[in-house]
């Protein structure tokens, strides 16, 4: 009997330990934050995406690709959509102001403005995702010429030939751009990241200079990479049938953090002193906790990286990792299917943090496998008060 009792106690201890471990892995260590309404967008701004802050003035800029305008559903392969891609300005009191409409690509008649970032020249560099209109390497990087916080009205094409241009980051004299679908022959899925040095990107497409024209990626062998391709990795099909690769990108302490939109695998890409990739570490295995990585953002003040999980309607955080260390995930906020009217998360895709206020973009363009099941007007931005 005593032996049976000891065995029972041991089993109970194992169960409790596993439960604690599971809770830690799922990030349920503290009460979840409640997202509130920050802004309602005008009718002509349907399905916002990219968000960035001017390093000089602190002004917030937003891209609205309008993919779902006019009732266009996710997965539709043909235009038209009702409204063009829009660049907007967002004030800290939640007012949204339209600044310009992006010029369409002639062959598709459309724009798909997504990730954006300020270059060292004071201009905005914007990913124009044409993949939802034409999958044959039609995506671009656009340069919006700025006069302080105001666009001059001139938009230049800096890069051509990308496939699904998605997120952008500027770091130590280079523009980094994620390419979510490389469509490499013989691979189920693959994503890549391009790196354009300032000496090339700042002049490309300006004056008499032609845009940079990148070549298609035909192999994941780094020896066969086309010029400017930093890294390319295979992306497997997720449980919901999504094979999307790299999406959001951010830098923390010199390391590039990114993740697959399809299955939520997170990577820490580390560099040598000369800027070459030394290793691409998997710091979170896909489809375990985070199952979808959209935008990622590094909050230097809190030393935390935030991940937008479009599948779960959730925001996660983790501290930058050391070499060989897995990400220790914390669940910041999560809610079920919602119309976003009260500010609840409605397919979050991007966030920034200003003075302990996390401002979140709700993409709200659902497809099978997501908690979010339908688009609801109007589009919204959410806010979370951080401790």
pLDDT of residue 359 exceeding 80, the answer is: yes
CATH of the domain at 108: 2.120.10.30
Instruction: Return d(Cα 283, Cα 266) in angstroms, integer.
Output: 6
Query: CA nearest 137: which of 63, 214, 201, 190?
Result: 214
- Average pLDDT of the chain? 92
Q: pLDDT for 94-119, tens place per residue?
A: 999 999 999 999 999 999 999 999 99
30 occurs within a structural domain: no
Q: pLDDT for 162-183, tens place per residue?
A: 999 999 999 999 999 999 999 9
Instruction: Return d(Cα 62, Cα 364) in angstroms, integer.
Output: 15
Phi, psi angles (nearest 5°) of residue 157 = -95, 115
pLDDT of residue 79 exceeding 70, the answer is: no
pLDDT at 27: 46
Query: For residue 216, how far is the Cα from the chain centroid?
Result: 22
CB proximity list for 246: less than 8 A, separation 6 or greater? 166, 167, 178, 179, 180, 191, 192, 193, 233, 235, 258, 259, 260, 261, 267
If phi > 0 it is left, if psi is from -120 to 50 it is alpha, else beta; for residue 92 that is alpha
Instruction: Return d(Cα 229, Cα 221) in angstroms, integer.
Output: 11
Model pTM score: 0.92
pLDDT at 360: 98
16 occurs within a structural domain: no
13 occurs within a structural domain: no
pLDDT of residue 6 exceeding 70, the answer is: no
282 occurs within a structural domain: yes
Q: pLDDT for 247-281, tens place per residue?
A: 999 999 999 999 999 999 999 999 999 999 999 99
Instruction: Return d(Cα 106, Cα 248) in angstroms, integer.
Output: 27
pLDDT band at 75, cuts 50/70/90? confident
pLDDT of residue 240 exceeding 90, the answer is: yes
Q: pLDDT for 295-337, tens place per residue?
A: 999 999 999 999 999 999 999 999 999 999 999 999 999 999 9
CB proximity list for 315: less than 8 A, separation 6 or greater? 33, 306, 307, 308, 309, 331, 332, 333, 334, 345, 348, 351, 358, 360, 384
183 occurs within a structural domain: yes
Over residues 46-60, mean pLDDT: 97
Over residues 230-241, mean pLDDT: 96
Spell 325-352 as b/e; 16+ CB within 10 A means b: eebebbbbbbbeebebeebbbbbbbbbb
Token pair in block for residue 17 = 């330990």
The owner of tokens 């391009």 is 194
pLDDT band at 237, cuts 50/70/90? very high
pLDDT band at 91, cuts 50/70/90? very high
Phi, psi angles (nearest 5°) of residue 324 = 85, 5
pLDDT at 77: 65
19 occurs within a structural domain: no
Burial class (CB in 10 A: 0-12, 13-18, 19+), 317: buried
pLDDT of residue 24 exceeding 80, the answer is: no
173 is in which domain, residue-wise?
35-385
Contact 102, 86 (CB under 8 A): yes
Number of structural domains found in the chain:
1
Burial class (CB in 10 A: 0-12, 13-18, 19+), 219: middle
Spell 55-92 as b/e; 16+ CB within 10 A means b: eeeeebbbbbbbbbbeebeeeeeeeebebbbbbbbbee
Token pair in block for residue 30 = 């503290």
pLDDT of residue 218 exceeding 70, the answer is: yes
pLDDT of residue 21 exceeding 60, the answer is: no
Instruction: Return d(Cα 251, Cα 230) in angstroms, integer.
Output: 15
pLDDT of residue 69 exceeding 50, the answer is: yes
Alpha carbon distances (Å) from 251 to 60, 228, 268, 354:
19, 18, 9, 17
161 occurs within a structural domain: yes
73 occurs within a structural domain: yes
pLDDT at 205: 98
pLDDT of residue 366 exceeding 60, the answer is: yes
């Amino acid at each position: 009997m005593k032996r049976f009792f000891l065995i029972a106690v041991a089993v109970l201890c194992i169960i409790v330990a596993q439960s604690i471990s599971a809770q830690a892995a799922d990030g349920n260590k503290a009460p979840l934050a409640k997202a509130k309404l920050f802004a309602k967008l005008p009718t002509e701004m349907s399905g916002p995406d990219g968000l960035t802050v001017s390093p000089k003035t602190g002004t917030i800029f937003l891209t609205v690709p309008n993919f779902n305008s006019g009732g266009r559903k996710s997965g539709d392969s043909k235009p038209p959509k009702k409204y063009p891609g829009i660049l907007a300005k967002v004030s800290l009191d939640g007012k949204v102001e339209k600044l310009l409409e992006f010029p369409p690509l002639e062959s598709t008649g459309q724009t798909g403005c997504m990730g954006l970032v300020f270059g060292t020249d004071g201009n905005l560099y914007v990913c124009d995702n044409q993949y939802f209109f034409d999958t044959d390497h039609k995506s671009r990087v656009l340069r919006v010429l700025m006069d302080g916080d105001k666009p001059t009205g001139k938009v230049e094409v800096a890069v051509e030939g990308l496939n699904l241009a998605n997120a952008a980051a500027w770091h130590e004299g280079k523009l980094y751009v994620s390419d979510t679908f490389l469509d490499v022959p013989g691979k189920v899925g693959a994503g890549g990241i391009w790196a354009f040095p300032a000496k090339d990107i700042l002049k490309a497409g300006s004056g008499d200079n032609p845009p940079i024209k990148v070549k298609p990626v035909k192999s994941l062998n780094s020896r066969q990479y086309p010029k400017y391709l930093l890294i390319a990795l295979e992306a497997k099909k997720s449980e919901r049938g999504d094979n999307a690769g790299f999406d959001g990108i951010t830098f923390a302490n010199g390391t590039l953090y990114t993740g697959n939109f399809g299955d939520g695998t997170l990577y820490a890409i580390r560099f040598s002193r000369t800027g070459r990739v030394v290793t691409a570490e998997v710091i979170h295995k896909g489809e375990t906790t985070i199952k979808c990585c959209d935008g990622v953002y590094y909050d230097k003040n809190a030393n935390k990286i935030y991940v937008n999980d479009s599948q779960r309607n959730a925001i996660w955080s983790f501290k930058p990792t050391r070499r060989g260390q897995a990400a220790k995930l914390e669940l910041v906020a999560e809610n079920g299917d919602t119309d976003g009217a009260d500010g609840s998360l409605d397919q979050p895709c991007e966030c920034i943090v200003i003075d302990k206020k996390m401002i979140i973009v709700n993409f709200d363009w659902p497809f099978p496998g997501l908690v979010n099941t339908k688009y609801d007007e109007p589009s919204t931005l959410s806010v979370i008060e951080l401790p």
